[in-house]
Amino acid sequence: MYNKKLVFAAACLGMLLFGIVLTSLGSILPVITERFHMDQLTAGSLVSILPFGVLAGSLIFGPIVDKYGYKFVLITCIILVLFGLQGLNANEFYLLQLGIFLIGFGGGVINGGTNALVADISDEKGANLSLLGVFFGIGALGLPSLLSIFPGLQSTIINAVGIFMSLPLIFILAVRFPAPKNPQGFPLMESGKLLKSPVLYLLSFVLFFESGMEGMVSNWTTTFISKTLVEKSELALVVLSSHIAGLTVARLILGWVLKKVSPVKVLYASIGIIILSAVIIILSNNINLSIIGFALLGAGFAAGFPITLGFVGENFPKLSGTAFSIALVIALVGNMLINYIMGAVSYYTHISNMPLVLGICAILMLVLISFYSKKYITKS
């Protein structure tokens, strides 16, 4: 029999690693660009390998964990990420490309696997998934902070991160995990029904818009601030940091709130905060008001993934890994597509319209959640 607390701790360590690796490339991209004398076009193509790897990992992890269990998959992918991190220090371009793909692929599996694992072992799925997300925020802030404190030591820090990642690996090796759900083989008939499930696609498209908004803010905030308020890049980074801080703090609080308030009500409130934040950002005419708006926006984003993935876990307990895989792939497609749309909006109109795009996405997300609530919760 497995210990739920130890398994949850192992999942949190895995999510911490995912936060670290997801920011690894962006943190040292300037150094890599200089090392290989890359132009912006080449650098852009290199960066695109990471989300492609995450998408590939998210696509395949579900059926694998349903058949082989979580422990084998997490251990394998942490090792792949360790090799990938070493590739960032490579002097051969093809090894660098391979390393980035392994980081993305392993990270995608770790992200999906840890979320599905926590959903499987939890009675209060939304609360525990929210706490899991806090560890992503800690990991995401860790590597950029180290690199900013110790400039010029990129290779040493990357190697140190590799050593650090071996510690959670040892812990995961020692912990007993839940048994595989389908050790005799993957149930094709049940998976076929899953692919035809309207409720899965409904929840997946909630994540489509949530992921798109989160990606938009991560990728476009500094440009938005520098083009609409101030030209100083350090102030734009302060705004982005306030957003991450709002997200992390809200997820800490969310774990407590979800024990007292129904998840769907919390999700309604979160979407309302997103819309309010978009209005504040539209009306802001100074950097302080923008900091408040983006911090609130982070708080509004906090509930989207934990609660919606909790709904996915509740609806598909027998094939939760595969269901999470489908949902996360659709979410990643939303991230890429909505970011592309934001780029087009910025090019053909102006970057100042970013809060308007955020508001539209939030309203569409609200419509989907309202439909899910009326059709699948009140009648359950």
Which H or E element spans position 261?
none
d(CA 114, CA 129): 9
Look-up of token digits 């308007």 = 356
pLDDT tens-digit series, residues 81-102:
989 888 888 889 999 999 989 9
CB 306 within 8 A of CB 129: yes
pLDDT tens-digit series, residues 203-227:
999 999 999 998 888 778 877 887 8
Q: Could you tell me which of 129, 305, 122, 293 has the C-alpha nearest to residue 206?
A: 305
Per-residue pLDDT at 380 = 42
Per-residue pLDDT at 356 = 95
CB 106 within 8 A of CB 81: yes
DSSP track, 285-345:
-SHHHHHHHHHHHHHHHTTHHHHHHHHHHHH-STTHHHHHHHHHHHHHHHHHHHHHHHHHH
Per-residue pLDDT at 221 = 81
State the DSSP code for 259: T
DSSP track, 186-207:
--HHHHHHHHT-HHHHHHHHHH
Each residue's pLDDT, cut to its tens digit, for the chain (380 residues) gives: 789 999 999 999 999 888 887 776 666 766 787 788 877 667 767 777 888 888 899 888 888 888 888 999 999 999 999 898 888 888 899 999 999 899 989 999 999 999 999 999 988 888 899 889 888 878 877 766 676 677 666 677 777 777 777 888 899 999 999 988 766 555 555 666 777 889 999 999 999 999 999 888 877 887 788 788 766 555 776 787 788 888 888 988 988 898 889 999 999 999 999 999 999 999 988 888 989 999 999 999 999 999 999 999 888 888 888 889 899 999 999 988 988 898 888 888 888 899 999 999 999 999 999 999 988 875 44
Residue 350: alpha-carbon gap to chain centroid: 27
Per-residue pLDDT at 303 = 92
State the DSSP code for 180: P
CA dihedral of residues 308, 312, 313, 315 (deg, nearest 10):
130
